[in-house]
Amino acid sequence: MGRYLLKRLALAIPVLLAVVTITFFMVRLAPGGPFDMERNVPAEVTANLNAQYNLDAPLWRQYVDYLGDLARGDFGPSFRYASRSVNEMIGAGFPITLELGLYAILFALLVGMPAGILASLRPNSAQDYVPMSAAMIGICLPSFVLGPMLILVFGIWLGWLPVSGWGINPGDKVLPAITLGSTYAAYIARITRGGMLDILSQDFIRTARAKGLSTWRIVRVHALRGGVAPVVSFLGPALAGLLAGSFVVETIFQIPGLGRFYIQAAFNRDYTMILGTTVFLSALIILFNLLADVVLVWLNPQLRKNL
């Protein structure tokens, strides 16, 4: 297992380098610059700003300097927020984004797994068709449509829940978590159904039924561990997708997370903020995928022979 982890971590280095390289040159080649929005700024001031942020150096020199700073864990200063570094802004916004992602994945698991299990117990019946049809609707309904619908119904018409902000009130978390987690709940429901159907068709399950064990005991003791293995494999990309997908939800519900900083950086051509957030999220995606693989190996010892 130790060699497997070291191998995966070693493979992550060229992946991150590719992400940094592609993002660096894409944002530099895009039209506009970080100081183009300034009005009535003399040319001397613009030149001083470019010199301060190393933008007057050749592009290859900027790239090499950025890699050197990145190797020390320094994402650099923000071009649009002169008194703050990218590290500080990520540190301020990421805990909120992570909290939102955790609420969303918890909602997805609590809704998706029971729905998939129930559907697998009676395939091709109403108990199967109803949750799977709802799951298909959840997959097809994007968050930028579902979010405003939830705001309209539960925030404006019924007045039950807040529609913006992120404070100590638990109600602030409900609508954003549902909006972000609904699509993943639908995927988890369908994945759980497929995994459970595969396990429930095995010989050892028929033996357990022949012994007179109840359906829920068979599910809980014999089938669940193998049936949820595909869900565990899905959780790594899902967590990464939740963090990236939260950008839209944070904008809809006015949540001061990392997503809003990233969107503002894109509009403001804040090169270092775009790069820092992209690299940070890419590293998290790699980490989540690695953790999902480790848990999957723990659930299925047979996989350890292939490491």
* Calpha distance 183→112 (Å, rounded): 10
168: amino acid identity, one letter: I
> Per-residue confidence at 108, pLDDT binned at 50, 70, 90?
very high
* Calpha distance 131→112 (Å, rounded): 9
When pLDDT is averaged across residues 273-293 and rounded to a whole number, the result is 84
In the three-class reduction of DSSP (H, G, I as helix; E, B as strand; rest coil), residue 235 is classed as: helix
- Domain, as residue range, for 101: 86-306
In a domain, 36, yes or no: no
Residue carrying structure tokens 């030149």: 47
When pLDDT is averaged across residues 242-257 and rounded to a whole number, the result is 83
In a domain, 69, yes or no: no
In a domain, 251, yes or no: yes
301: amino acid identity, one letter: P
* Calpha distance 127→115 (Å, rounded): 9
pLDDT digits (tens, 9 = 90+) for 165-183: 787 788 888 999 999 999 9
Provide the domain count of the chain. 1
In a domain, 80, yes or no: no
* Calpha distance 285→268 (Å, rounded): 25
> Per-residue confidence at 301, pLDDT binned at 50, 70, 90?
low
Range 12-21, long-range pairs (CB < 8 A, 24+ positions): 12/283, 12/286, 15/282, 15/286, 16/279, 16/282, 16/283, 16/286, 19/278, 19/279, 19/282, 20/66, 20/67, 20/70, 20/275, 20/279, 21/63
In a domain, 198, yes or no: yes
Helices (H) and strands (E) in the chain, counts: 13, 0
In a domain, 278, yes or no: yes
In a domain, 41, yes or no: no
Sign, Cα dihedral of 57, 59, 62, 68 = negative
Residue 110 has pLDDT above 90, yes or no: yes
pLDDT digits (tens, 9 = 90+) for 2-49: 676 777 778 888 888 998 999 889 888 877 667 665 556 666 766 777
In a domain, 11, yes or no: no
Residue 130: how many CA atoms within 13 Å on its side-chain side? 8
The pLDDT value given to residue 22: 92
The residues near 81 (Cβ < 8 Å, ≥ 6 apart) are 89
Could you tell me the pTM of the whole model?
0.81
Could you tell me the CATH number of the domain that includes residue 265? 1.10.3720.10
